[in-house]
Amino acid sequence: MAVSVLFVFSLLVSCAVAEEYKIGGIFYQDAEDAKVAFTISAKMYNFTPILREVSKRGETLEVSEHVCSLAEESVLGIVDGIGGRSSEIIQALCDTMELPHVVIRHDVINTKNWSLLNLYPSPTAYNMVLEKLVLEKEWRNFTLVYVRGNSLLRLQNLLMMGNDTDKYTISVRELDGSDYRDVLINAKENGYTNFVVDCPSRYLEQLLRHAQQVGLMSDEHSYIIISPDLFTLDLERYRYGGVNMTGFRLMDLQSNDRLWNFTNQFNLETGKSLQTEEIKTELVLIQDAMQVFSAALEKLIYIQTQSLSCENYESWMYGSSLMNFMKTNKVEGLTRSLLFDGRGLRSEVIFDVLELTSSGNQTIGHWKSNELTIQRPFIPDTEIIEESVLRNKSLKVLIALTPPYAYIKESDIKLEGNDRYEGFTVDLIDKIADILGFSYEFEIEGVYGKLDPDTGKYTGMVLKLMEERADLGICDFTMTAERQKAIDFSTPFMTTGIAILYKQPSKQPPAMFSFMEVFSKEVWYYMVLIQLGLGVIMIFVGRISNKEWQNPVPCIEQPEELSNQFSFANSVWLIIGSVMQQGSEIAPIALAPRMITSIWWFFTMVMVASYVGTLVAFLTVEKNVVPFKTPEDLYKQKSIAYGAKNGGSTMDFFKGASNEIYKKMYQKMQSKGWAVNANDDGVALAENSTYAFLMEGASIEYYRERHCDLLQVGNLLDQKSYGIGMKKNSPYKVHIDDALLKLKERGQIQKLKDLWWKDRRGGGKCQEKHEDSAKRLEMKNMSGAFVVLGVGCLIGLGISTLDMLWGVFKRSVKYGTTFKYELVEELKFALKFSGDVKPVKRPPKTEDGSAEALADPEGKDDIATLKSHFSGKSTSTRRTQHSHSSKHSSSGLSVAFARRREYT
């Protein structure tokens, strides 16, 4: 009895002094959801959470301090919510102190150590499942897209597939910065359609949005997204574009009460209203980390925490035991089985393989025990899923006689049944029938159908499908939200949008001064400025260069004065002559001016060559000048009518648009009666009058192949898809979707489109024609050059006239004659057009009208004489001295001449 009492007493004492287990967590300061998940997960397993926050990425010193402070507080281990390079610091310190280190993010560095436990699926698991999935999809070429900072550890097997170049073509694209559109546009221009995307979940939404913006989310594109958080995002905007998007999920959402409880607790703490399928994988892995710690503690008989110091290099005596149990235990977490290899990496991962369809996310297969199993998505028992559901069935298929989707076949003999029709959708349904094994009968229905606001009932094809008077409807059947309330649609087989069809405008000749457009205004401005600046530089260099100062009179060996040829006018003339490739009489003598001139000649050679090489295009290219480019421009036009087909989805788009301009366009179309009853009527109006027809881009592409004087103006106004209509919850949908997917992957749908758009029924007649001979330049192309020549000549003539008038004025002052007399004499001489010698003086006119020779010959300085006339001072004394010296000394004359010579 005493022994029993003693045992109970000791048990009570041990429970009273039971140790409080603490779990440390390191997260970024802005990771609010992860911190909440850590706190509630720790409390659910009776742990005390101790949080540490890192202010920003790359703060390694701060991370080290947090690890040491957590070790001093006697934690069982550390949950690492940071990842990347910072995890190496945490791992190194935990290894030293033998403290368990649990990572919940993809390890981009592939760190391996005994103290590390990574709950994220290992790169090995991803490599295997990705390789099997690519083989299952039968991709022969694909592109690996990854965000900078992520390693390619999970894509190594796919990269190795590219070694066999005969079978697979693999390209790699790195996304950098905050804008991925440039890289994606480059991928689109290179014709890439299949992508494997390795992108952190925080960047995934932006990547998908940019891919859609550049047109990489159509029915011809396929994606495999590595991130397990793909289907936690709102993918509604991508459902109906036809894109094939495949991803993975770690959680089992079926009958998972623990996941529901965790989601509920998380919503209570954060005030959010997330569903279980919207919880991020990182948050669920935090919960699994706590479960791994708890399961390992249950296996240990006794464990005691210890305060550790980084400075003393202490280690926890129970750390290795706890870590061994964490690695070897098999735990069923929220992300299913948690098994680890000797390196702490998660092995035997179980994935659900999901696919995005127009009906939402569907599970199409599983990855388990290193095997990929692809299966059909689950459908309730009321809907048969056997592949024989369509085998040997006979379906009624509605079509519309809208080119090129369906025509009445032209034949000399009478045709019956389905043989009466041909076209794109006729061939498409025939290929689907071959795959699924059913037969069909066509029925013509020209009204696609919509909700009648007066009766509250649907019309046309939609009504017949609702009432099961037909099984399928296939034509340019637009998938709209209104129609989807009444019927279901298959995966889109074509994606298009509304555009504007208008007649081809006549080509306009180049502008008169188009040769000035070769260079931008900025280049012209800099050319002028640099010529002026270089002129100043040449003056300066010429004045400081000794060799540029030359003797003006070579016959004098030791002159009193030297002259320099680099005045501003001469410098600019040298520069302009180089630009015009004509040269000038100015030639540098010293080394420095020659070097500068040589560099300038090289510069002008490049500029002139660039100008001449581009000039032809600006002189010969004739552009189509469209009177409008956008719907807003079209609305402002007063002389151009516009319209759409009555009762079609294009008219409904303008009717229900939120854009005020589109609403006003709809009202104007209705009030003016510009709408038409058929596409052919709208095309005829656009071709023969000033009428813009609004219709789907695919139809515009068809008509442009047959009507060469029509073109599409602007970009698509929206994005819409064509699908095969059927009744709600039709058992045929999943099989038709599968058949369409196979046809897309084989390229059959594109081949059918090329056949009916470009080849059959008059297609291809508007191919671009190439002229055999070079295009001649006519007067309209060269008129600008003639105008410049004429204007330049007129300016030169005006300057020369002013120069002549100034000379006439000086002579009238000098000789004491009238301005009129000198002007008449000058014009008489100039208009004779004979002789190349001009006398420097002429006899003045006397009172009786006779000419008298001047007593004083030309011996005055013109400017000095002009100044003396206005100042009243005489220059006779200086003139006499000059004449006297010139008679007695030839050297004095040379010196005087040198002094009077000016180089400007």
pLDDT tier, 384 (very low <50, low <70, confident <90, very high otherwise): very low
Q: How far apart are CA 37 and CA 49, in angstroms?
A: 11
On whether the CB atoms of residues 355 and 244 are closer than 8 A, the answer is yes
Percent share of the chain, pLDDT over 70 = 76
pLDDT of 577 higher than 90: no
Residue 79 has pLDDT above 70, yes or no: yes
What is the pLDDT, as a whole number, of residue 850?
A: 47
Least confident of 13-17, 399-403, 623-627, 816-820: 13-17
Res 353 pLDDT > 80: yes
C-alpha angle 159-161-163 in degrees, rounded to nearest 5: 90
Contact 843, 857 (CB under 8 A): no
Calculate helix-pair angle for 521-544, 591-620, nearest 10 degrees.
Answer: 160
Residues contacting residue 29 through CB under 8 Å, at least 6 positions apart: 53, 54, 55, 56
Residues 6+ apart with CB under 8 A from 479: 240, 358, 489, 492, 720, 721, 722, 723
pLDDT exceeds 60 at position 694: yes
- Tell me the pLDDT tens digit for each residue of 225-248: 999 999 999 887 787 666 889 999
User: Residue 751's CB: how many other CB atoms inside 10 A?
Assistant: 12
SS3 248: strand
Once rounded to an integer, what is the mean pLDDT over residues 478-494?
89
Reported in sequence order, the residue ranges of 185-243 that DSSP labels E, i.e. its strands, are 194-198, 222-225
Model confidence band, residue 14 (pLDDT cutoffs 50, 70, 90): very low
Phi, psi (5° rounding) for residue 812?
-65, -35
Query: Which carries the bigger pLDDT value, residue 590 or residue 344?
Result: 344
Cβ count within 10 A of residue 784: 17
pLDDT tens digit string along 418-429? 889 999 999 999
Selected residue with higher pLDDT from 147 and 842: 147
Mean pLDDT of the chain: 78
SS3 helix, strand, coil % of the chain, rounded to 5?
A: 45, 15, 40
Q: Is the pLDDT of residue 582 over 70?
A: no
Contact in structure between 101 and 77 (CB atoms under 8 Å)? yes
Q: What is the amino acid identity at position 725?
A: G
pLDDT tens digits, one per residue of 731-745: 888 889 889 988 988
pLDDT at 834: 58
In total, the chain counts a number of residues equal to 904
pLDDT for the residue numbered 287: 94
Judge whether residue 658 has pLDDT over 60. yes
**In the chain, what are the domains?**
20-121+282-329 (3.40.50.2300), 123-254+350-374 (3.40.50.2300), 387-496+724-759 (3.40.190.10), 514-621 (1.10.287), 625-718 (3.40.190.10), 803-900 (no CATH)
Three-state SS at 596? helix
Residue 591 has pLDDT above 80, yes or no: no
Rounded to whole angstroms, the Cα distance separating 819 from 809 reads 6
Calculate the alpha carbon distances from 130 to 104, 544, 700 in Å: 21, 75, 40
Place 291 in a pLDDT band, splitting at 50, 70 and 90. Answer: very high
- Note the pLDDT tens digit of each residue in 760-783: 877 767 765 544 444 554 555 445
* Structure tokens given for 737: 């979707």
Q: What are the structure tokens assigned to 160, written together?
A: 């190795």
In the chain, the percentage of residues whose pLDDT exceeds 90 is 22
pLDDT (tens digit per residue) in 90-106 = 988 999 999 999 999 88
pLDDT grade, residue 902 (50/70/90)? very low
Token readout for 225 is 């997204």
Q: How far apart are CA 161 and CA 170, in angstroms?
A: 8
In this structure, the strands spanning 116-121 and 141-147 are unpaired
* Secondary structure letter of residue 341 according to DSSP: -
CB distance 121 to 250 below 8 Å: yes
DSSP string across 831-899: HH---S---S--PPB-TTS-B---SS-S-S-HHHHHHHHHH----HHHHHHHHHHHHH-HHHHHHHHHH
Assess contact for 130 and 367: CB atoms under 8 A: no
Strands of 641-643's sheet in order across: 641-643, 691-696, 498-503, 710-713
Q: Please tell me the pTM assigned to this model.
A: 0.47
Single-letter amino acid, residue 608:
V
Q: Is the dihedral of CA 810, 813, 814, 815 positive or negative?
A: positive
Instruction: Give the closest residue to 288 by CA, choosing from 260, 262, 269, 257.
Output: 262
pLDDT, mean of residues 520-526:
78
Inter-CA distances, 340 with 121, 330, 875, Å: 10, 8, 115
**In this structure, are residues 88 and 63 in contact, taking their beta carbons and an 8 Å threshold?**
no
C-alpha distance from residue 184 to each of 144, 174, 176, 243 (Å):
12, 10, 11, 15
Q: What is the pLDDT of residues 557-574, one digit of tens each?
A: 776 776 767 777 777 777
Block residue for tokens 């899923």: 385
- Model confidence at 518, pLDDT cuts 50, 70, 90, reads low
Question: Shortest CA distance to 353 belongs to which of 130, 121, 127?
Answer: 130
Q: How confident is the model at residue 46 (pLDDT cuts 50, 70, 90)?
A: very high
Which of residues 438 and 109 earns the better pLDDT score?
438
Residue 367 φ/ψ, nearest 5 degrees: -115, 115
606 or 646, greater pLDDT? 646
Residue 65 has pLDDT above 70, yes or no: yes
Q: Model confidence at 516, in pLDDT bands (50, 70, 90)?
A: low
* pLDDT tens readout for residues 98-141: 999 999 988 766 666 767 899 999 888 999 999 999 998 889 89
Q: How far apart are CA 712 and CA 704, in angstroms?
A: 8
Helices (H), 317-379: 319-328
Comparison of pLDDT for 680 and 473, the residue scoring more: 473
Give tens-digit pLDDT for 246-264.
999 999 887 678 899 999 9
- Give residue 890's pLDDT: 42
Q: Is the pLDDT of residue 725 over 90?
A: yes
